[in-house]
Amino acid sequence: MAAPEVVATLERETMRKVGVRLLPFLFILYVFNFIDRSNVALAALQMNRDLRFSSTAFGLGAGILFIGYALFEVPSNYILARVGARRWIARIMISWGVIATAMMFVKTPMHFYALRFLLGVAEAGFFPGIVFYLSQWFPARRRARAQSRFMIALPVSGIVGGFLASFLLGFDGRMGLSGWQWVFLVEGLPSILLGFSVLWLLTDKPADAHWLDDEQRAWLIDEMEKDALTSGGGHRMSSLDALKLPIVWVLAIPYFLMLTAGYGYTFWVPIVIRDTLHTTDTSTALITAAIAAVSMTVMLISAASSDRLQERFFHAASSGLLIAIGFAGAALLPVPALRIVFLGIVLVGCNSMLAPFWCMPTALLSGEAAAVGIALINSLGNIGGFVGPYMIGFLKDATGGNTGAFLGLAVFGLGIFVVFSLLNYTAFANPSRRIGSLRPVDKPDLLPDLS
């Protein structure tokens, strides 16, 4: 048996190679994925005016993407588990890039609805596919940090998208195109090119990782097999069995609440900033980028803390509390600048929840069961991507302001806090069945209370 210091060195060098090889590339893919999903928020600063879209029409179009996304999420991730991440993620990226670019041709609300729906269909499976993919490469004890380094693409996409859109919106009228059309054109094309690069740069599984030496590859395969054996029984399930697990459905509840709040923020905050602070389109985009930069820093700190303490529920619950505080402040505070600061707290809460949350299903399930379970949680949760933007648009048209919608979303944040607190209480009431912890001694008893 190798000495502990030799094993530690092997682990450190192997995971360094895996991290350097996979995480920067996946990060870039997700940056453009989220830019293409959310750039309509900044494009709307001009598009709604040019095409005379009401708040309700814009909210419906922004959110309808998630209907197509939710419908095709589970089958897409099931196919990914069968054919491999390399080919399926390439397909996803190329098709969504084509549709994202075609958004520049929108003329009517029906065009808007149709293309947004198709964008959701094309994109379905990308995010849960990557979460599943990372669970095949990173042991559970390292997973939150690995996922956070991939998921910081969310705030980074806000930074990059904000700066890029602030530049492209200034192209209004050039070559016969509006500024918002330039946003869709320039931000959609890179996804197509990146999709083709996936076929050459992504490796499906550790056994195919010829960029690791034999000893490193053997160690990683052995570690992932050990993880599967202690994943709470998920390795013994078929993909359909995973759909019957109550814990999978329970975890979808706080995720739905978070995404309802998060996408309500994402698709409306540029308009809210502009109307509240009376900023130009360029200044508005830059403010959204600055908020995203702050949320990225907090997200990394939260993920590192979650891994260091080997705790998931408290970190996720506290994120829900931040969402509630942020929306309540944005609704009730009289000072305009403070309302925008509290909206920034919403984004901090949403992004901070992601890494600890996605460690929960990947600690419970493995193999095809993990692919399908993760996809179901993501599919149900992303219905919130429809509810949040549409709710704000509808209530804004009905009431003439954002106060009612923001207070409603604050309640969603409290709901997140309550659900995770109850789950955490259940775990601590019976420590042998603790599902917030990833300590190996707890893993065999992860499911009984909730299955």
Signed CA dihedral, 365, 366, 367, 370: sign only: positive
Model pLDDT for residues 321-334, shown as the tens digit of each residue: 999 999 999 999 99
**pLDDT exceeds 80 at position 258:** yes
Rounded-to-integer distance, Cα 118 and Cα 72, Å: 11
Rounded-to-integer distance, Cα 335 and Cα 333, Å: 6
Percent over 90 (pLDDT), the chain: 37
Query: Closest by alpha carbon to 254, among 440, 436, 72?
Result: 436
Count CB neighbours of 318 within 10 A: 18
| Average pLDDT value over all residues in the chain | 85
Phi/psi for 84 (5° steps) reads: 100, 145
Residue 39 structure tokens: 């750039």
Model pLDDT for residues 34-62, shown as the tens digit of each residue: 898 889 988 998 999 999 998 889 888 88
Rounded-to-integer distance, Cα 22 and Cα 81, Å: 18
pLDDT at residue 446, as a whole number: 39
Phi/psi for 8 (5° steps) reads: -60, -40
Range from 14-18, 25-29, 152-156, 255-259 carrying the lowest mean pLDDT? 152-156
Q: Which CATH architecture has domain 18-207+232-450?
A: Up-down Bundle (1.20)
Rounded-to-integer distance, Cα 81 and Cα 133, Å: 9
Rounded-to-integer distance, Cα 20 and Cα 212, Å: 12
- Please check whether residue 431 is in contact with residue 424, taking contact to mean a CB–CB distance below 8 angstroms: no
Name the range with the highest mean pLDDT among 72-81, 168-177, 439-448.
168-177
Mean pLDDT across 194-215: 91
Burial class (CB in 10 A: 0-12, 13-18, 19+), 399: exposed
Residue 366 vs residues 218, 245, 254: alpha-carbon distances, Å = 19, 13, 22
Rounded-to-integer distance, Cα 28 and Cα 43, Å: 22
Model pLDDT for residues 366-421, shown as the tens digit of each residue: 667 777 888 888 888 888 888 888 888 888 888 888 888 899 999 999 999 999 98
Rounded-to-integer distance, Cα 122 and Cα 33, Å: 11
Rounded-to-integer distance, Cα 174 and Cα 166, Å: 15
**pLDDT exceeds 50 at position 435:** no
Count CB neighbours of 222 within 10 A: 11
Ordered alpha helix ranges (H), 202-245: 214-229, 239-242
Mean pLDDT across 429-444: 40
What are the domain boundaries of the chain?
A: 18-207+232-450
pTM exceeds 0.95, yes or no: no
Rounded-to-integer distance, Cα 280 and Cα 45, Å: 10
Rounded-to-integer distance, Cα 239 and Cα 80, Å: 13
Mean pLDDT across 146-173: 84
